[in-house]
Amino acid sequence: MPICRTGSLALCLLALAAGHPAGALQPARGGAASPIANLPHRLVEWPVPPTSAAGVPSPWNFIQVSSVAVTSRGTVLVLHRGAHPVLEFNRDGTLVRSWGDGLFSEGKVAGIAEKYWTPDKSHYSAVYGPAGCASCGAHSVRVDPQGNIWLVDAPGHVIYKLNADGKEVMRLGRKGVSGTGPDTFNLPTDVAFAPGGELYVTDGYGSARVVKYSRDGKYLLQWGKRGKGPGEFGLPHNLVVDAQGRVSSPIATTSASRCSTRTASSCRSGRPPTASPASS
């Protein structure tokens, strides 16, 4: 399934997550596939490589770069699954600082072998201890309109809100505690911000729901469950909110993306996702 179906953001994004060349072709509405135009963007070398002890440039040792975000100061946060998991660079590529050691869990999200699959359960879990790895919980970094930094630790089942200086000011979920309640997650994947300040969380690998919170972290509502029916998700992996407050999740269909931010009821009318879980 290397192509995206017309009107289905879900399939397109799922294919991306699965590493398929989803951007290569796009079927015209009801017709044959047509190529997508190249954008007038130029790839540049970035960031500036570090200098080795020999005084010469050396490559960065990023371990799985999972996310990137632009701060309110105009710097760029790079989130990777290794030592110093959060690295902040100027836009010219020079390193500003690094931080985050010990913040993320050492669990590793992993696919469940097919012979253990059941129709109603997630195909993902997490391994911890020796089977895990340092900072492998690092899944997403976002910056809200007020300049706060949000970090999603998927296998840690927790989302941190930090101020622009990196000090924790709030957290959603309970670190190391999985669940599907109003204050627990099961391998969450992303967080997004509505124009009115409310928060949305995709939860995620273990659950299959979107949860809405007030700006101060009070649970408001949720929708979605695992499946392929109306209002159901395969793997809600990322999340964006547009200027009108409509929520789009990569595994949701475009109908689901039009769900109201005010109530959950309209979200149940979303067309069924036709995708299956992807990786990473």
Distance (Å, rounded) from C-alpha 273 to C-alpha 270? Answer: 8
Residue 264 binds to another protein (criterion: CB under 8 A): no
Q: Give Cβ neighbours of residue 236 (< 8 Å, ≥ 6 apart).
A: 189, 190, 202, 203, 204, 208, 209, 210, 224, 249, 250, 251, 252
Indicate the residue among 39 and 54 with the shorter CB distance to another protein.
Answer: 39
- Work out how close the CB of 79 gets to another protein at its nearest, in angstroms, rounded to a whole number: 7
Question: Could you give the angle at the alpha carbon of 152 between the alpha carbons of 146 and 156, nearest 5°?
Answer: 145
Q: 164 is written with which tokens? A: 């622009």
Q: For another protein, which residue of 62, 127, 179, 262 counts as binding (CB under 8 A)?
A: 62
- Reading phi first (left if > 0) and then psi (alpha if -120 to 50, else beta), residue 82 is in beta
Exactly one of 30, 32, 38, 167 binds another protein (CB under 8 A); which one?
38
Over the window 240 to 259, marking each residue x when it contacts another protein by CB under 8 A and - when it does not, the resulting string is xxxx--x-x-x---x--x--
Give the sheet arrangement for strand 95-99, strand by strand: 65-70, 76-80, 86-89, 95-99
Q: How far apart are CB 119 and another protein at their closest, in Å?
A: 27
Could you tell me the smallest distance in angstroms from the CB atom of residue 229 to another protein?
Answer: 20
Kindly state whether residue 226 participates in binding another protein, applying the rule CB under 8 A.
no
In the complex, the residues that contact another protein under the rule CB under 8 A are 4, 6-9, 12-13, 16-17, 19-24, 26, 36-47, 61-70, 74, 76, 78-80, 91, 93, 140-141, 240-243, 246, 248, 250, 254, 257, 280
